[in-house]
Amino acid sequence: MRISIRAESMPASPIRKLVPYAEAAKKKGIKVYHLNIGQPDIPTPEIFFKYVKEKSESVIAYSHSAGTFELRHAFLNYYSSLGIKLDENEVIVTNGGSEAVIFAMASIADPDDEIVVIEPFYANYKGFASLLNIKLVPVRSEVTNGYRLPPKESFEEVITDKTKAILFSNPTNPTGVVLNREEINTLIQLAEEHDLFLISDEVYREFAFDGRASISLLEYYDSDRVIMTDSLSKRYSACGTRIGVLATRNKAVLDASLKFAQARLSPPTIAQLGAVGLLELGKDYTDKVKEKYQYRRDVVYEELSKIPGIVLTKPEGAFYVSVGLPVDDAESFVKWMLTDFNDLGETVMVAPLSGFYATEGSGKKEIRIAYVLEKEKLRRACELIRKGIEQYNNN
C-alpha cells in the first residue's frame, strides 16, 4: 500500500517545520521570542465570549451551510459600512479564510489548471493548490524593489489557456505591501484582457498604515470576476474561531461554493454566535488595533534598519515584514538561532522566506518577521537577530 502522489507532494508548512528546534531550545531553558507565525497577542474582544454565553442553545446543531442568517447579515452590515452592498446569498461563511480560498480555487479551476500568484505569497496557498491538483504559477516580486507588483508583462509571460485566475493577498502576507490603485488597475486589466478571475484575499484589510486605505476589490471593481475572501482571524485576534467568508457576485461561483459548503455541512456553530458580536465592534475597534500594529511596525523598522547589509523597505500594512539578510542561507540561520545561539538565555524564531516562493531555490536569503508582540519584546527580538547575524557570519 502507498499514499497518494498528492499527499507525497503536499508541502510541509514552512512556518511550522522548524518548531521542533524551538521546542528543544525551550527544553534547554532558553527563552524564544516567536516572530515566526501570524498569531496576534491581542486579547480576543470580550463581546465574542459574551455572545457565545448568552446565545448558545442546548443542542449544538449544524447551521445553514452558508452560515447562520444572523452572521451573514452581520457580514453584510460590515461590508455595507465599507461601501460594498451584497445580499445574503452573495456571502458564504467558511472555516476561516483558508476554506474560502479553497472554495474559490475549487470553484474555478480543474486539476492541472493554473492560478497565477505573486511570489512570495501566503505559503498555505501551495497546500490548497496541492489538495486540488491545481498548479500555482508564480510571478516574482523583488525584495530590492520593496516587493511591489511586478510589471504587467511579467504576468503576460506566464498566462496560458490553462490560467483561470490571479490570486493575491492585499494587504500582503508576507511582504506588508498594500497594493496601490495603479497596481490594482494592472490586475483588473490583466483579468479583463485574459478572461480571468481575481481572487482577492483581504484578511488584513483594516491594517493599512500611514493613512493609506487598502482597496477592497469588490468596492473598487464591481465585477463578477471578483471573488473576495476574508476572515475574522487577524482583524479581531480570533484565529481559533475559524470564521471566514467568501463573497462574490458571480452566481456560478456561489452555487459551486455552496455545494462544497454543503458537503462539509456547516461552519462552527458556537463560533458563529460570537462572530456576530465581533462584527458589531465597528471601525473604532479596528482603528485602535491598526494603530498598535503601525506603532510596532515603526519599532521593528527602526531596529532592523540598524542591521548592516539588510535589505528592507518600510511595510505599509498587515503585520509582517520580509527582509533580505546578509547571510549565506536564511533557513540555516533561522535554525542556527534556535540550536546554537542565545544571548543571556534568549533567542528568536522567525520564518525563512523560501517556503513562501513557488520557484525552487528562491528567497534563500530572506526571512519574514510577524510583529505580533509588544514593543519591548520586539526591540529585544530585533536586537537578537542583529547579534545573531554577527555571530553566525563570524563562525
Min dist. Cβ of residue 354 to ligand PLP (A): 17
Question: How many helices and strands (H and E) does the chain possess?
Answer: 14, 12
Is residue 36 within the footprint of ligand PLP (CB under 6 A)?
no
Stretch that binds ligand PLP, among 74-82, 91-99, 207-215, 245-253 (CB under 6 A): 91-99
Among 93, 191, 198, 203, binds ligand PLP (CB under 6 A): 203
Min dist. Cβ of residue 285 to ligand PLP (A): 18
Min dist. Cβ of residue 269 to ligand PLP (A): 17
Per-residue HEC secondary structure of 320-362 comes to EEEEECCCCCHHHHHHHHHHCCCECCEEEECEEHHHHCCCCCC
Residue count of the chain: 395
The residue among 120, 69, 26 whose CA lies nearest residue 324 is 120
CB closer to ligand PLP, 239 vs 310: 239
- Helix or strand run (H / E) with residue 200: strand 197-201
Is the backbone peptide bond immediately before 120 cis, with ω within 30 degrees of 0?
yes
Q: CA 190, CA 196: separation in Å to the nearest integer?
A: 8
Is residue 237 within the footprint of ligand PLP (CB under 6 A)?
no
Q: CA 198, CA 215: separation in Å to the nearest integer?
A: 14
To which residue does cell 517556503 refer? 355
Among 176, 244, 267, 274, binds ligand PLP (CB under 6 A): 244
Residue nearest to ligand PLP (CB): 96
3-state secondary structure of 131: helix
Stretch that binds ligand PLP, among 92-100, 110-118, 155-163, 387-395 (CB under 6 A): 92-100
Is residue 122 within the footprint of ligand PLP (CB under 6 A)?
yes
Among 130, 200, 214, 231, binds ligand PLP (CB under 6 A): 231
Is residue 98 within the footprint of ligand PLP (CB under 6 A)?
yes
Min dist. Cβ of residue 242 to ligand PLP (A): 7
Burial of 364 (0-12, 13-18, 19+ CB in 10 A): middle
Q: What number of chain residues touch ligand PLP (CB under 6 A)?
A: 13
Min dist. Cβ of residue 45 to ligand PLP (A): 17
Q: CB-side exposure of 168: number of CA atoms within 13 Å?
A: 33
Min dist. Cβ of residue 156 to ligand PLP (A): 25
Q: Where on the chain is the footprint of ligand PLP (CB under 6 A)?
A: 38, 96-98, 122, 169, 173, 201, 203, 231, 233, 239, 244
